[in-house]
Amino acid sequence: MSLTELSYWFRKFLPFGVLFCLISLIIFYSFKLYFIYLEANKPVILYTDPIFGKIDRPVIPHATASGGLQFVLDTVEGTPVTATEAAKVYFMPNATTKFGYREKIYLIAKSFGFDTNKIKHKLTDKIAEFDAEGKKLTIDVSNFNFKYESDIKTNTFITGSVNISKKEIENKAINFLKLIGRYPEELSKAIATPKFFSSQNYVIMTFNGSEPKVIRAQISFFEKSDAQFGVYPLKTGDEAWAELQKGGGMIIAGQEHIKKVTIKKMGLYYLDPDVYQTYLQPVYVFIGDDDFVAYVPAIKNDFLTE
């Protein structure tokens, strides 16, 4: 076959080849779009594993019910937000007195400036107490939660001011807690506390030059078991919002005698309790004007005890 003949047949069948390619592409992308449609409309299977059965609602002793208030939602989204359909609920084992606790509590006491050669502890149930020279330290020997207070009036260390950044202060506080072995990594994560705007875990320091001195401190933290958890279904944002309006929320902070609250933000957080509870669980947090805060348990009510 000569080049002339080859060129003739090529030009003759070229339109058919182009047409075949176009039809093939149309068929290919039609099937692709069809499978994308099927995937998008496939029913979502929610995985849950509520191994603990029904669990207790979170307990916040000072909270009050949200009944009797009128709520208006004025968030950026404009509608209640659903963060996720399910979440882990962790078991928090009740700590028992640890062998060799004496060495640990004396290390903590020494770090707070107690002369442990002269000052000894008094043990009442699970609480060890050091008390001397305007300073008082109590330690739970089962989990090493502690509270330290010093008499500021008699503390001649507090004089003048110091120029130090917030980050430096935070790092010094963290380093101090790490020194005594009581800095859980969870403290650096976004969590909700029983008072929201403040935490039951804190360190208050004064500075003389660059040297910090702790005048008050407290750690009230309960460890969770990373290996023992269940996966529980959560309320939708709409369900949590409706429960808040019906009086099922827990008011954490806000001015008294108000009747109408405008909610500016809502979100989902794990509640870090200040008293022992069996489970670490999430709550919906509603933040409003005038420092109003309310929580609604996030676990579906079918999985909560009454």
Number of domains in the chain: 3
Spell out the residues 6+ positions from residue 180 whose beta carbon is closer than 8 angstroms to its own.
Answer: 107, 108, 111
Q: Can you list the alpha helix ranges (DSSP code H) found in 143-268?
A: 166-179, 237-245
pLDDT digits (tens, 9 = 90+) for 32-82: 777 776 666 666 666 788 999 999 999 998 888 888 899 999 999 999 999
Do 278 and 179 belong to one domain?
Answer: no
Domain assignment present for 278: yes
Regarding whether 214 and 166 lie in a shared domain, the answer is yes
Indicate the residue among 192, 219, 246 that finishes a domain. Answer: 219
In this prediction, residue 22 carries a pLDDT of 77
**What pLDDT does 269 receive?**
94
Q: Is residue 49 part of a domain?
A: no
pLDDT number for residue 254: 84
Query: Model confidence at 16, in pLDDT bands (50, 70, 90)?
Result: low
Residues 19 and 86 in one domain: no
152 vs 268, residue with greater confidence: 268
Mean pLDDT for the stretch of residues 7-31: 70
Domain co-membership, 108 together with 205: yes
The residue written with tokens 């933290």 in the block is 221
**98 or 142, higher pLDDT:** 142
Examine the domain organization and report whether 150 and 260 are in the same domain: no
The order of strands in the sheet holding 70-73 is: 64-65, 250-253, 292-297, 282-288, 260-270, 70-73
Helix (H/G/I), strand (E/B), else coil: 207: strand
pLDDT of residue 33: 76
Q: Which domain holds residue 26?
A: 1-42
Tens-digit pLDDT profile for residues 224-235: 999 999 999 999
Indicate whether 208 and 125 sit together in one domain.
Answer: yes
Of 219, 237, 252, the position where a domain reaches its end is 219
Phi–psi pair at 257, nearest 5 degrees: 70, 15
Residue 192 lies in a domain: yes
Shared domain for 251 and 149, answered yes or no, is no
- Answer yes or no: do 214 and 232 share one domain: no
Residue 54 included in any domain = no
Q: Could you tell me if 164 and 70 lie in one domain?
A: no
Instruction: Name, in order, each residue with C-beta under 8 angstroms of 32's C-beta and a sequence gap of 6 or more.
Output: none
- Does some domain include residue 50? no
- Are 29 and 72 part of one and the same domain? no
Note whether 271 and 297 are same-domain residues.
Answer: yes
Q: For residue range 187-219, list pLDDT tens digits in order.
A: 877 788 888 888 899 999 887 766 788 999 999
| 51 in a structural domain | no
CATH value at residue 203: 3.30.310
* 53 falls within a domain: no
16 part of a folded domain: yes
66 near 247, Cβ under 8 Å? yes
- Residues near 49 by beta carbon (within 8 Å), at least 6 away in sequence: 230, 231
Domain match, 283 and 244 both: yes
